[in-house]
Structure 1
Amino acid sequence: MVQEPRGRVVRRLSAILAADVAGYSRLMHNDEEATHAKLAALLADAVEPAIADHGGHVVKNTGDGFLAEFPSAVEAVRAALQFQARIKELTIGEVEDRRIAFRVGINIGDVIVEAHDIFGDGVNIAARLEGIAEPGGISISSSAYDQVRGKVAVEFSDLGERSLKNIARPVRAYSVIRDGLGAGTLSRHADTTLHAVTAGQKWRITRMVAAVVVLLMAVSGVAWYWRGEMDPGAHLHPAAHLSIVVLPFANLSGDPEQNYFVDGVTESLTTDLSRIGGSFVIARNSAFSYKGKPIDVRQVGRELNVRYVLEGSVQRGGNRLRVNVQLIDAESGKHLWAERFEKPVADLFDLQDEISSRLANTLGAQLVAAEARRAERSQHPSALDLVFQGFAALNKEPTPEHMTQARGFFERALAIEPQSVGALVGTAIVDLTMGSSRLTDDRLARLATAEATAIKALSLAPNNATAHLVLGIAYTLTNRAAQGIAECERALALDRNLAEAHANIGLAKYFMGRAAETEGHIVEALRLSPRDVSAFRWMFFVGAAKLQLGADAEAADWLRRSIEANRTYPLAHFWFAAASGLLGARDEARNAAKAGLALDPGFTIRRVLTGQSSYNPTFVAGLERLCVGLRLAGVPEG
């Protein structure tokens, strides 16, 4: 190798792969020696051979992961696919919460080269992309995607522009659609044997688009404003927004007796999607006329005049059931989203209900995201188009700028259609987000405005589930927890799949001094939407409730899970610091407090005592106990 002159900065363009173990702290906490041994074995048996096979080399190990460099993005992606598949094969029999799974980020960029390391934005972007990947998944930048598109045997899901920590500009990201569920890889009657590279990866391939980040609340559903009645007087053409047919799922089990279960999943999904206000869902009888026939989705779209086709398959093997689902654009035939569910078979009807609920939650988000992309291309946007764009802005990082942008779209929609329930609910969510996440100095005024706007929306559409949910959260955050619970229960009566309503009921009960009941509601929210973007916040609620109950060890476990799910949420670090301090783990407490202060330098104990959302004596006593732990962790008094 040619030696560069001393003192000269050496740069080169590289394909960088960053990887880490999902939930590494939890795994080490459960069994340190076993986790270390398993990780070493996987690196030796799966990772290192794959990297060598594709011309790469490991730049450095990072304890729970590694950084590797490749000559091209194509080889980096191929190596990642190879070792992810091999790791899945080697760990498939292990208990899920003890299974090692890597998250991978890949980028092409200019790097600074030193003897045993590489530096620069090219490396940082790869590391941040790894942070947004699912366990077992691969996220890549647009620069890498441009190089690998059409050259590797997988499809990609467009995650849109993502704001990555400490990266100046948003980065367009793509996620590998796992299990080969991309275009052309799975028809309703296809063999389920998959390519070896992607066999067995069963984790979710896309994140829910929702990102309404709020403090001490469970607001996440991107399709909120759809969950209820359409705007009064609105009449949709059959090919209008959210028109879809759920084709009969294929029974790949080889057991005709399973047909009733497969048809039940199809029918349940049709019913659940019909609850999305403004949707046009083809009736069951028309959809089932395609059962057992070769399908051309574009022809189906033309015949039924729908924009989207949902198709899938169900396969039972032994005591496990696998459900594959794909959402397809009927106009282009392009695959927009794919998902795989695999669960033990217990009670088939309960399992059918759970699968249908989760799919309905996810599909609501995916359909709204697809419509938002369409709306952006419109030369003359309608009120409905502007509402979609408002929610697209709302789903970005919750900054005052993005909230202002979202409000602008909703106000334009209201100028066209003053009684647009979608725009009113969107505006209410903007104010709720600003007030509850303290993005404004007039917190209480914003919450009051959100409440008033939600009430106005309900005057136009009394059965809008999301308006009830927004109102319930506003009540909960302004010392009216009982009313908040009542509104969330009304929302659930209208839409049983609103995971955030369950979570807010759990939060409200914590505020009411009934912390022992919080966990059950959060567990139900996580059951409905286990990989929800707000799952980390829901876990935080349980940790806070456990602290109120004096169950400090359990609190620490839940708060640790919250941190592992999202390391940028400061409250989880502070509450974990308090739990650790109360448990006597002073070093861990102080480290957690430092992590929290790095994210929120202005946090003080005084803020905890003055910014509360309840004056219930049990709740207040719990806060005082929390403050004892915070003092032990070294959090400033303020």
Structure 2
Amino acid sequence: MAREQQRRLAAILFADAVGSSQLMGRDESGTVARLLDHLNRRLAPTVARRGGRVIRLKGDGGLIEFVSAVDAVAAAIDFQRTMAEVNRDEPQDKAIVFRVALHLGDVIVDGDDIYGDDVNVAARLESQAPPGGIIISHTLGEAIDGRIKATLHPMGELSLKNIVRPIRAFRVEWKPEDWPVSAATATPTPDATPAPRPSASSRLSIVVLPFANIGGDPEHEYFVDGVTESLTTDLSRMSGTLVIARNTAFTYKGKSVDVTHIGRELQVRYALQGSVQRGGNRLRVNVQLVDTANGSHLWAERFDKPIGDLLDMQDEVVARLARQLGTQLIGAEARRAERAPNPDSVDLYFQGMAWLNKGNTPDYLTEARRYFERALTLDPGNIEALVWSAYVDVFMASLYAAEDREARLAAGEAALVEALTQAPEHAWAHLSLGLAQIQTRRAAQGIAECERALAIDRNLAPAHAMIGLAKFRIGRGEETEAHVEEALRLSPRDPFVPAWLSIAGDAKLLLGKDEEAVSLFGRAIALNRNNPYTHFLLAAALANLDRIAEAKAALQAGLALNPKFTMRRYLAGAASDHPTFLAQRDRVADGLRKAGAPEG
């Protein structure tokens, strides 16, 4: 029998940034950082003070639920007043302005999520709000009439996309003197709920709270607990991270918890919450990462899969979530480190990792290495900084971005060997050493190192992609795709996905499957335009298809990212003396020359 849906009445708030696509087109990384700053430091705390619940914060907006309609509108005004103050001295072409819409209606509760027709109404209303303004439905307007210091201006009946009935709405106007900015940003007044104190933890620390078994099916209880335990184990592999033990975390099982209270009680910065729910023949896993200092949601993910073998599903779910969560924690720690007056070695390491996750341009890699070097200057024993600085050297040489290719590879390999003498079970050090060997005509040894990395951490998805790279270097390019597919299965939203697609495309190009190669390179570039090597390979594939104009454009895009690329560097970086590979590489070189690659 299907589980009865849970419903409740709620005030629903939608907030969305105006023109975020154009802003990102001009400055993607800067805009994303400022959007996250506004959502996490202004919207989420304002919502918390007014008793709301963040359902999700996405890249340019959020969905919030309130029990009280009055509190919902008050929070919206608080937020817009704060944003007006923030943007007061901001140039018009850089200011981030939000539209906010609210509606009162019936919602269907799905774990930590809500949905239903009335949620859709709020979402569609948002586009009708003026930039920097607030629009509310007539239903919500009646609920707050006379209870809040604001004027409601009728907008008539609005026809909204995919909403059958017209919706009557009001535009909300408020006087600044009635809503001082301090109401949203300064010390709360005596009758307001005080903001939670920050966690006392001074280092990256997290608790994986027991996942909720939505529906209570006892058949799934061991699966739910298994996901929680396995995530705890996988996160414990992150060097320098404090992960609360499973036995302590499970004392909260089945309890309604306040993550800010847990943060203070366990002295952790972050909490991971999740739920598992069965719907027909599918199983859905929802997770959210929460900052325990203020209760703001930093990241959320949903994993939806047909029900099969539960143990196999558990492995796949954990693999995907662990990689994504690790990236999110690195980003959160890097943002925290940027605000530190005196960053220590670990702070600098996280900032270096944040630069590395931006993309594979020589500039980003150089900036990442600069932070790793600073981290090692403060603490020569920082193994993570040592491993990743060595990885940057190896990777820079792999991208034909270094004049001193052989010297970088040798230095990187030496540093990795040193790191492994101190930390022999460091999976990423084994993977990086494997890459160094692959790039120095020792592909078979490189495969063995990557397999060692996987023996230590079976969820290290990049190791599968590196094995795929090694395979085409020894003339077995037809095997590469399967290894890349395994990496994608384990971590489909990994920051390295564009590089993995490029590896698969490279193998197709070597095999003469140019159309398939173009498709793979196009997917990689759509995800991350900052890998110059992918543009060069795309140029070769297009030229081999006699699409010369497109090939020349692709080549120029690559040269804009790495102007030092030449045919001399490409040919010198063969990284293999296998006759099959060398013969296949000739057609890539021909394509690059047709596209106009400089000889150097």
TM-score of the aligned structures, taking structure 2 as reference length: 0.67
Match of 1:512 in 2: 474
Q: 1:140 to 1:397 in 2, by over 3 A?
A: closer
Q: 1:632 to 1:499 in 2, by over 3 A?
A: same
Contact persistence 1:142–1:174 (CA under 8 A): no
Q: 1:319 to 1:510 in 2, by over 3 A?
A: same
- Does 2:545 align with 1:592? no
Contact persistence 2:55–2:113 (CA under 8 A): no
Q: In the aligned structure 2, how far is the partner of 1:174 from the partner of 1:353?
A: 42
How far did 1:145 drift? 5.3
Contact persistence 1:145–1:174 (CA under 8 A): no
Tell me the alpha carbon deviations over residues 62-103 of structure 1, each in whole angstroms, 9 at most, x when there is no partner: xxxxxxxxxxxx99938x9xxxxxxxxxxxxxxxxxxxxxxx
Tell me the alpha carbon deviations over residues 459-514 of structure 1, each in whole angstroms, 9 at most, x when there is no partner: 11111111112211111112221221121111111111211111111101111111
Q: 1:196 aligns with which of 120, 124, 133?
A: 120
Q: In the aligned structure 2, how far is the partner of 1:190 from the partner of 1:246?
A: 16
Q: In the aligned structure 2, how far is the partner of 1:543 from the partner of 1:421?
A: 33
Match of 2:16 in 1: 77
Q: In the aligned structure 2, how far is the partner of 1:385 from the partner of 1:284?
A: 27
Q: In the aligned structure 2, how far is the partner of 1:140 from the partner of 1:385?
A: 18
Match of 2:503 in 1: 541
Match of 2:236 in 1: 274
How far did 1:427 drift? 2.4
Q: In the aligned structure 2, how far is the partner of 1:577 from the partner of 1:387?
A: 35
Q: 1:172 to 1:269 in 2, by over 3 A?
A: farther
Q: In the aligned structure 2, how far is the partner of 1:520 from the partner of 1:246?
A: 33
Contact persistence 2:475–2:581 (CA under 8 A): yes
Q: In the aligned structure 2, how far is the partner of 1:241 from the partner of 1:143?
A: 21
Q: 2:20 aligns with which of 71, 89, 106?
A: 106
Q: 1:308 aligns with which of 265, 270, 275?
A: 270
Match of 1:324 in 2: 286
SS of equivalent residue, structure 2 residue 254: coil
Gaps of 5+ in 2: 1-12, 61-92, 100-106, 124-198
Q: How many residues align?
A: 461
- Does 2:225 align with 1:263? yes
SS of equivalent residue, structure 1 residue 306: coil
Tell me the alpha carbon deviations over residues 398-421 of structure 1, each in whole angstroms, 9 at most, x when there is no partner: 666655554454344334433221
Contact persistence 1:106–1:141 (CA under 8 A): no
Q: In the aligned structure 1, how far is the partner of 2:420 from the partner of 2:321?
A: 27
Match of 2:407 in 1: 445
Q: In the aligned structure 2, how far is the partner of 1:508 from the partner of 1:175?
A: 48
How far did 1:592 drift? 2.8
How far did 1:258 drift? 2.2
Q: In the aligned structure 2, how far is the partner of 1:144 from the partner of 1:382?
A: 23
Q: 1:299 aligns with which of 250, 255, 261?
A: 261
Contact persistence 1:389–1:406 (CA under 8 A): yes
Higher Rg of the two aligned structures: 2
Structural mapping, 1:383-394, within 5 Å: 383-394=345-356
Tell me the alpha carbon deviations over residues 591-619 of structure 1, each in whole angstroms, 9 at most, x when there is no partner: 13332224317655555433322121111
Q: 1:559 aligns with which of 521, 541, 562?
A: 521
Q: In the aligned structure 2, how far is the partner of 1:283 from the partner of 1:241?
A: 16
Q: In the aligned structure 2, how far is the partner of 1:467 from the partner of 1:272?
A: 17
Structural mapping, 1:178-197, within 5 Å: 190=112, 192-193=114-115, 195-196=119-120
Query: Which residue type is aligned with residue 491 of structure 1?
Result: A
Q: In the aligned structure 1, how far is the partner of 2:38 from the partner of 2:404?
A: 43
Query: Which residue type is aligned with residue 451 of structure 1?
Result: E
How far did 1:352 drift? 1.6
Q: 1:634 to 1:240 in 2, by over 3 A?
A: closer
TM-score of the aligned structures, taking structure 1 as reference length: 0.63
Gaps of 5+ in 1: 1-73, 81-104, 108-122, 160-169, 177-184, 200-236
Q: In the aligned structure 2, how far is the partner of 1:385 from the partner of 1:144?
A: 19
How far did 1:312 drift? 0.9
SS of equivalent residue, structure 1 residue 336: strand
How far did 1:333 drift? 1.9
Q: 1:630 to 1:385 in 2, by over 3 A?
A: closer
Tell me the alpha carbon deviations over residues 433-481 of structure 1, each in whole angstroms, 9 at most, x when there is no partner: 4333344321221121111111111111111111112211111112221
Tell me the alpha carbon deviations over residues 344-365 of structure 1, each in whole angstroms, 9 at most, x when there is no partner: 2232222221111111111112
Q: Using CA pairs under 8 Å that are at least 6 residues apart, name the structure with larger relative contact order, 1 or 2.
A: 1
Q: In the aligned structure 2, how far is the partner of 1:541 from the partner of 1:373?
A: 31
Q: 1:567 to 1:277 in 2, by over 3 A?
A: closer
Contact persistence 1:157–1:175 (CA under 8 A): no
Match of 1:52 in 2: none
Contact persistence 1:576–1:589 (CA under 8 A): no
SS of equivalent residue, structure 1 residue 196: helix
Contact persistence 2:443–2:470 (CA under 8 A): yes
Contact persistence 2:239–2:384 (CA under 8 A): no
- 248-257 or 306-315, which deviates more: 248-257
Q: 1:280 to 1:520 in 2, by over 3 A?
A: same
Tell me the alpha carbon deviations over residues 318-344 of structure 1, each in whole angstroms, 9 at most, x when there is no partner: 122221111112232222211112222
Q: 1:433 to 1:547 in 2, by over 3 A?
A: closer
Contact persistence 1:390–1:410 (CA under 8 A): yes
- 186-195 or 380-389, which deviates more: 186-195
Q: 1:471 aligns with which of 433, 455, 461?
A: 433
How far did 1:381 drift? 3.6
Q: 1:198 to 1:624 in 2, by over 3 A?
A: farther
SS of equivalent residue, structure 1 residue 77: strand
Q: In the aligned structure 1, how far is the partner of 2:247 from the partner of 2:37?
A: 45
SS of equivalent residue, structure 1 residue 339: strand
Contact persistence 1:141–1:172 (CA under 8 A): no
Tell me the alpha carbon deviations over residues 167-189 of structure 1, each in whole angstroms, 9 at most, x when there is no partner: xxx9899999xxxxxxxx99996
Q: 1:434 aligns with which of 376, 390, 396?
A: 396
How far did 1:126 drift? 4.7
Contact persistence 1:245–1:282 (CA under 8 A): yes
Query: Which residue type is aligned with residue 590 of structure 1?
Result: A
Q: 1:258 to 1:128 in 2, by over 3 A?
A: farther
Q: In the aligned structure 1, how far is the partner of 2:319 from the partner of 2:493?
A: 13
Match of 1:179 in 2: none
Match of 1:499 in 2: 461
Structural mapping, 1:136-155, within 5 Å: 142=35, 149=43
Contact persistence 1:387–1:409 (CA under 8 A): yes
How far did 1:295 drift? 0.6
Tell me the alpha carbon deviations over residues 255-286 of structure 1, each in whole angstroms, 9 at most, x when there is no partner: 33222222221122122112223322222222
